[in-house]
Amino acid sequence: MRQLIPLILLSSLLIFLQWPGAFEGIAAPETSVKSSNDAEVDLSEKEVFRGRIVNRISRQTLPFAKIGVLHRNRGTCADHKGNYSLYLSGIKDSDTLRISQNGFEADTFLVEQFRNKFTTGVAIIFLNPISHPPVNLMDYDEDMTRKVIGNTSMSKSKTTNFVSADLGTELGVTIQIKRQATYLRDLSFNVAQNDYDSLLLRVNLYYLDNRLPYDAMLNEDIIVIAHNHSGKVSVNLLPYNLIVDEDFFVSLEWVMELGDTENHHLLFSGGSKSDGNYCRRGSQGDWIHYKGWGPAINITAIYE
C-alpha cells in the first residue's frame, strides 16, 4: 500500500520554516560568485552554474529543491528562496543532471545539454507540480495497539553526524514494521549537541527498493528549525494519515549553510550499527551503507 500523504510539523519546540517564494517575473541571478577572498570569479573558469528552481504553473520559487549529478556525489539543494549554486568542473558531458522536489515531476538533463543550454552559467529551471487526490483522514480507535518502532536512544556519548557538510547530505535508518497496515503517529530523534545558533533540517521518508532508499513517500517537505536547540525533536504525523504496509527509510538532510563547520558541531544520538543505515554525500548522489551509528530515529505506530 503506497499513499502519498502530506505531513506538517506540529511541535512546541519547533516551527515550520515557510517562505511563500512568490515573485513577479523571474529575474536572472548575478553571473559571478564570490571566492574566499571576496573577489569575483568568472563562471566559465570555475564552471559554476547559478539560478533558481521554479514552479512552472505558479511561478513561485521552490525552497530546498534538489539538484545534482547522478552517481557522482556532486549535488546541492536550493536555499529558502529557490536559489542554487552548482559546480560542474570535472563532470563528464555524458553524465546526467537531475532536479527534483517533493510534489513535483523530476527533470533530467545530460550534462552536455545543460552546458549548451545555459552557456552564460545562469540556469533557471522549471518543475511541473503533480496533482494528488484529496486525503481522507483515518478513523482510529483509542484501543488500537500502539508500539514504538526504531531506536529511542538519547545518548550524548554514542553519537553520529553527517558524513559531509555539502548541502543535500543525508543520513538515515531503515524502519522495520509488521506486514500489515500501520498508521504512523509521530516521529522523534534526539539532537545530542548543537553548537549553531539555529538548526534547519529536512526530514525525508522513502520507500525501499532492494533495501535501498528509492521513491519519496511525501508530496510536501518536512522542514524543521530550532534555535539553540538540543534534545528531543518530535514530528506529529497522525493527523495526516500516513499509512504503510512495508519497511521504509527515514533520513535527516542538511539543507542550510550554517557557517563554521570546523569549530562547531552538530551531533545526533546514535542508534545502532545496522545493515539498514545509509547515507549520501549530496543531492541525487548514490546511497551507500553507513558503517557507523545510525541516528536514533523512532516512530510511534498504531495498528489493529
Q: What is the mean pLDDT of residues 148-162?
A: 95
For 55, the grid coordinates are 514552479
The hierarchical CATH code for the domain 136-303 is 2.60.120
Q: Which of 64, 59, 47 is nearest to 283 (CA)?
A: 64
Summarize pLDDT for 184-219 with one digit per residue, the tens: 999 999 999 988 877 889 999 999 999 999 999 888
What band does 141 get if pLDDT is binned at 50, 70 and 90? confident
Q: Which of 89, 269, 253 is nearest to 193 (CA)?
A: 269
What band does 233 get if pLDDT is binned at 50, 70 and 90? very high
More confident residue, 19 or 241: 241
Beta strand 125-127 with 48-55 is: parallel
Give whole-number Cα distances, 105 to 66, 77, 237, 265, 284, in Å.
12, 16, 24, 35, 14
> Is 136-303 in the same CATH topology as 20-127?
no
Is there a contact between 204 and 172 (Cβ–Cβ < 8 Å)?
yes
Q: What is the mean pLDDT of residues 122-132?
A: 94
Fold of 20-127: Immunoglobulin-like (2.60.40)
Q: Is 211 left (phi over 0), alpha (psi -120 to 50) or beta?
A: left
* Average per-residue pLDDT for the chain: 83
Domain extents for the chain?
20-127, 136-303
**Phi–psi pair at 239, nearest 5 degrees:** -65, -10
Answer whether residue 128 shows pLDDT above 50: yes
Q: Which helix H or strand E contains 299, and what residues bound it?
A: strand 298-303
Residues with Cβ < 8 Å from 162, sequence gap 6 or more?
169, 171, 254, 266, 279
For 259, the grid coordinates are 557557517
What band does 2 get if pLDDT is binned at 50, 70 and 90? very low
Q: What is the pLDDT of residue 17?
A: 37
What is the pTM assigned to this prediction?
Answer: 0.82
